[in-house]
Structure 1
Amino acid sequence: MLKQKLQTHQIILLVISGIVLIMGIMLFIAPAALYPDPSYGFQVMRSMELGHGFNINFKPDQGDINKNISDFLAWWSPGQYLVPYFFKSVLGINTGQAAAIVTTLFSLSGIAGFFFFFKKAGFTPIISALSVLFIVIQQGFFTPYIFYNGGELLLFGYMGWFLYGCLTFKQPDWKLVLFLFVAGILGFICKSSFLWMFVAACTLIWIRLSYGTAGIINWIKNAIWIGIPSILSLFVIFHFYLSKGGNPSSAGEGIKLLWETFAFPLASPILTAFSIDDLSSGLLFHDDAPMFNYFWSVIIVVACAVLSILLVRLIIKRVPNKSYVLLLVIFYAVAVLFFGQSFLRQVSISYEARHFRMIGLIIAPGIIYLVSSLKAGFRYPFYFVCFVIAYSSYKFFVPSYFQNKNVSAHGYSGLAQLFIDQPSLNYIRNLDRQNNNATFVFTSPDLCLEIEHNRTITVDAISDEVSINYDDYVYKGHAGPLYIVLPSNYIGPKSTIMRKCFPGYKGFKMTMLSNDYILWEAK
């Protein structure tokens, strides 16, 4: 008997999944580079591999380099390195290959999770599948195939299923209690910023269960059912993790109100759903030369904020799925409040749209539904925008992948190293094999992962103003050979500053590792 033909939405999902699997195989062959955040997490993984405690970074003491200190890394959530650590331990592969497996599995999990979440929210299978396709063409989806970004990837693979669960419960019971307690902890393990999403989700469940019931008593009862497991989950997270070290929200630099303070969170639907921040190389935060100056970037952000509010308002009026509309409004409002006050207090959260990617994911089916309700001729501008987004993602992925594969240096970790060349890395690895009591100093945290037998120190790169706070850089004392690896453009005042940061060492000798990198060594 012939099987029934595949439906359109199934074909879309199969094609997307097939492409992801091919990309995953390519990534396993040539692993990605690292964002700085996971680099520090992988340093913790390295310490754990050497026998140190959970989430402990074992490193030289600034007061006496001959000693070590144990630093509990609470700044970032542990999932970014724990999940690759699992595959690395079980399969006996290197760090880059483990990260490649995690990238592929969580990409597939996110595709499936958001498809089923969109269906649960009331959208048809074809709208749900097209929404997933709209998500996949964004540069944010391709990023972990070039730069492993840890928590953002894990959160993408987790959140669709979590939101699906949030829409499942119709009455409070022990299953809801267990779900909230476990899901809160798992979400935080994926990424610490999940906490604001957890607050939004609890608010959503509370309103859905209570709306339409008679009297305030039921609202209070439902609040207790939801509040107790949520508070217990947050207590576990705080007591066993966040309280043991600093985190991005633990301190600010005072109040500072700018146009972008609240406009940037308000603009998140447009900035993320249409990749505006990616296409412009970062409006307010960027590593490379910006496309627009600060004035015009702020103007664009404010305009996107106005358009985002109008878009959300239009979805509220036109989309009939009330649970979805409620979810969108709550998550959007909580995101604006959370990030707005964070920017206002100047905590260590950058003005990057990637922090708001969840809003772009949630709003996707609303956008597709609105477009699908238009007459055919009016859809063409949206198709053109999608083509531009997809083409920019292609232009980002293909050259960057082959840059990682064929140009970037590769060593013990298997990761693509962007801040050193292959001859320099080979020299450093040879020094590592020849010593067991040396200390290597780098200005990039991912390079520490190439050292197998000795200790490492990561210091911040010195800016062009050649001004540093010595308290953050100085390591006193003496402990075996010291090797400082620097870009060749540090020759001059920057190199002098770096050597002065190790007052226990004298008689430095410089070696040109290549045209681009130098080594200062002192025995």
Structure 2
Amino acid sequence: MRYKNLPAHRIILLTVFIIVAVLGVLVIITPAAIFPDASWGFQVLRSMELGGPFNVLTKPSQANIALNTSEFISWWSPGQYLVPYFFKTLFGVNTGHAAALTTMFCQLIGLIGFYKFFKKAGFSRFISALSLLVIICQQAFLTPYIFYIGGETLLFAFAGWFLYGCLIFNKPDWKLILFILFSGWIGFICKSSFIWIYFAGLLFLWVQLSAGNRSAKAWLFKGFRIGIPALISVVAIYWLYFSKGQNPASRSNGIDLSWKVFSFPIASPILAGFSADDLVNGFIFHNDDAVLSAGWAAAVLILLAILSIVLVCKIITKVPDKNYRHIIIIFYGVSLLFFGSAFLRRLDISYEARHFRIIGLLITPGVLYLFSQYKMVYRAFLGVFVAVIGCFSVVFYYTGSHGLHQYTAYGTSGVGQQFIDQESLNYVKQLDDKYRNATFVFFSPDLGLEIKHNRIITLDALNSDINIDFNQYIHKGHAGPLYIIMPVYYVGIRASVILKSFPGYKGFSLKEMSDNYVLYFATEAR
């Protein structure tokens, strides 16, 4: 029997599948830690599992901790905890493993969706497959295997399929109406920021369906066919969700006319498409120590903004498929308007490239096609650059994975706990198993997920300068034993501030649970 060599694109796809499958198995074996946004989502799920209503966070009242208060959480979309809850119910696993299964399936589904979109957008199988390889080299792709990030992982799973759907409809029939209606709801459940992607996709559909018509009436008619189901979808989202609580667009904090407001969105193709923001640990928003000074960050970011404009212009002039060109123009333009206005109004949206990831994903095949038209030296440069990105991403994954194995505590939730050690977590679990009328106080929203039988209060962590609004911390009244878990370096002024936040208690005692964490506890009412 004669064996034929596999085509290059199949070899790449097989390689990508094996890598992603292995990463999926590893994250199930050792579940990831969790980002704060997703932690709050799981706190909502915890309240629901304890008998609370849908999407409502139940917690002790600040006016009297003997009573509860409830808040409808509309700041984040519900998919980040509903999808893991599906896996919890289906397989009977804990939260950590349910989040791991969510990550594994979403990453695979997302890659398949983008591969189909890239091919439908006119790219060859080889360019489409190579684009997936570039995508998995990004730190943004590996992050969910170290930290469960909720909505962004779900959005990655859905976005490629949504873009694919925007390309396959060429007439305003009932199928298009259902696609518009349900894609709005599904995308929002994945992540609330899908709204701007939804608008950009609908704008593309309008242009695609109306192309060739010179009559304004025809354009208007097609717009109504798209706009009516879109309006129904958005109104339902607002009525059932946004109107019931606060969200990042609820309030403006003034006007900001600084350089970053405009340069950051403009630079998004390179920031998000080639991990530039991750490589320097954030130009503006830093999860750790800043690599660049403020001055250098500004200069480099402005340069990247200029290069991004040049890159996008080159792509839309060289790539032959008109639909892909229109998508790039529309999505890039809408992102500039959406995020530019949000940053201008100082809404609660951080300057992180992850918010622009869809732009980075969209331009990937365009960049590969563009460089494929140039001389070998330019293609080699791009290959080396992607390899460097891949090396940094591997180091990030290795460091994070090592931390999960060596320094992360695991309790009953199965979530990797970054802000407590195993010895202290074990002691907290003993207290939770012993009492049914206690209140636990933490300074990270993920730690509350370990409490199964008692109530929890989550306070913001204190900086060394203790520049806080005391009204956000004070909790009056008395309700059984109170346990406050804090890092050992809080002992002193910070601990005093926290203890004063519970004026209904007296006679606090201190217990060292480990070398790194302490417990303040009290039972007597003042």
Fold similarity call, TM over 0.5: yes
The letter of the residue matching 1:357 is R
**Corresponding position of 1:48:** 48
1:368 CA drift (Å)? 0.5
Q: How far apart, CA to CA, are the structure 1 residues paired with 2:295 and 2:496? A: 37
SS at match of 1:445: coil
**Corresponding position of 2:282:** 282
**Corresponding position of 1:436:** 436
Cα distance per residue 1:339-394 (max 9 Å; x no partner) = 11101111100001111111000000110001111121222211111111000010
SS at match of 1:152: helix
Q: Aligned runs of 1:117-516 on 2, under 5 Å? A: 117-516=117-516
Q: How far apart, CA to CA, are the structure 2 residues paired with 1:354 and 1:378? A: 27
Pairing 1:102–2:86 present: no
Q: How far apart, CA to CA, are the structure 2 residues paired with 1:43 and 1:310? A: 45
Q: How far apart, CA to CA, are the structure 2 residues paired with 1:146 and 1:80? A: 16
Cα distance per residue 1:227-271 (max 9 Å; x no partner) = 000000000100001111000111111111110101100000011
**Corresponding position of 2:71:** 71
Q: How far apart, CA to CA, are the structure 1 residues paired with 2:26 and 2:379? A: 35
SS at match of 1:76: coil
Q: Tell whether the 8 Å contact from 1:424 to 1:513 is kept in structure 2 after alignment.
A: yes
SS at match of 2:477: coil
The letter of the residue matching 1:484 is I
1:402 CA drift (Å)? 2.3
Q: How far apart, CA to CA, are the structure 2 residues paired with 1:40 and 1:305? A: 34
The letter of the residue matching 2:303 is A
**Corresponding position of 1:519:** 519
Q: How far apart, CA to CA, are the structure 2 residues paired with 1:378 and 1:219? A: 43
The letter of the residue matching 1:231 is L
**Corresponding position of 1:116:** 116
SS at match of 1:282: coil
Q: How far apart, CA to CA, are the structure 1 residues paired with 2:302 and 2:480? A: 55
Cα distance per residue 1:278-334 (max 9 Å; x no partner) = 000111001211001112111111111111001001111111111001001100011
Q: Tell whether the 8 Å contact from 1:46 to 1:449 is kept in structure 2 after alignment.
A: yes
Q: How far apart, CA to CA, are the structure 1 residues paired with 2:8 and 2:457? A: 54
Q: How far apart, CA to CA, are the structure 1 residues paired with 2:14 and 2:107? A: 13
Unpaired stretches in structure 1, ≥5 consecutive residues: none
Give the length in aligned residue pairs.
Answer: 523
TM-score, with structure 2 as normaliser: 0.98
The letter of the residue matching 1:419 is F
Q: How far apart, CA to CA, are the structure 2 residues paired with 1:159 and 1:399? A: 29
Q: Tell whether the 8 Å contact from 1:437 to 1:480 is kept in structure 2 after alignment.
A: yes
Q: How far apart, CA to CA, are the structure 1 residues paired with 2:160 and 2:451? A: 38
1:510 CA drift (Å)? 0.8
Q: Tell whether the 8 Å contact from 1:74 to 1:241 is kept in structure 2 after alignment.
A: yes
Q: How far apart, CA to CA, are the structure 1 residues paired with 2:139 and 2:493? A: 39
Q: How far apart, CA to CA, are the structure 2 residues paired with 1:292 and 1:79? A: 35
Q: How far apart, CA to CA, are the structure 2 residues paired with 1:483 and 1:521? A: 5
TM-score, with structure 1 as normaliser: 0.99
**Corresponding position of 2:86:** 86
1:36 CA drift (Å)? 0.3
1:8 CA drift (Å)? 1.6
Q: How far apart, CA to CA, are the structure 1 residues paired with 2:11 and 2:102? A: 25
Deviates more, 1:5-14 or 1:95-104: 5-14
Q: How far apart, CA to CA, are the structure 2 residues paired with 1:202 and 1:468? A: 43
Cα distance per residue 1:433-479 (max 9 Å; x no partner) = 11101010000000000111000111001112112111111111110
1:2 CA drift (Å)? 7.2
Q: How far apart, CA to CA, are the structure 2 residues paired with 1:15 and 1:276? A: 25
Q: Tell whether the 8 Å contact from 1:316 to 1:325 is kept in structure 2 after alignment.
A: yes
Q: How far apart, CA to CA, are the structure 2 residues paired with 1:250 and 1:193? A: 14
The letter of the residue matching 1:97 is H
The letter of the residue matching 2:397 is F
Q: How far apart, CA to CA, are the structure 1 residues paired with 2:457 and 2:329? A: 45
1:3 CA drift (Å)? 8.3
**Corresponding position of 2:60:** 60
The letter of the residue matching 2:473 is Y
Deviates more, 1:116-125 or 1:214-223: 214-223
SS at match of 1:480: coil
1:133 CA drift (Å)? 0.9
Q: Tell whether the 8 Å contact from 1:438 to 1:454 is kept in structure 2 after alignment.
A: yes
Q: How far apart, CA to CA, are the structure 1 residues paired with 2:135 and 2:343? A: 27
Q: How far apart, CA to CA, are the structure 2 residues paired with 1:3 and 1:243? A: 62
Unpaired stretches in structure 2, ≥5 consecutive residues: none
Q: How far apart, CA to CA, are the structure 2 residues paired with 1:288 and 1:193? A: 25
Cα distance per residue 1:396-427 (max 9 Å; x no partner) = 00121121123210001111111000011011
Q: How far apart, CA to CA, are the structure 2 residues paired with 1:25 and 1:365? A: 28
The letter of the residue matching 1:395 is V
Q: How far apart, CA to CA, are the structure 2 residues paired with 1:21 and 1:287? A: 28
Cα distance per residue 1:105-159 (max 9 Å; x no partner) = 0100111100000000111110111111111100000000000000000000110
Q: Tell whether the 8 Å contact from 1:405 to 1:416 is kept in structure 2 after alignment.
A: no
Q: How far apart, CA to CA, are the structure 2 residues paired with 1:510 and 1:305? A: 53
Q: Tell whether the 8 Å contact from 1:440 to 1:454 is kept in structure 2 after alignment.
A: yes
SS at match of 2:300: helix
1:6 CA drift (Å)? 3.2
The letter of the residue matching 1:324 is Y
Q: How far apart, CA to CA, are the structure 2 residues paired with 1:445 and 1:216? A: 53
Deviates more, 1:401-410 or 1:455-464: 401-410
The letter of the residue matching 2:498 is M
1:7 CA drift (Å)? 2.0
* CA-atom RMSD in angstroms: 1.1
% identical equivalent positions: 51
SS at match of 1:167: helix
1:5 CA drift (Å)? 5.0
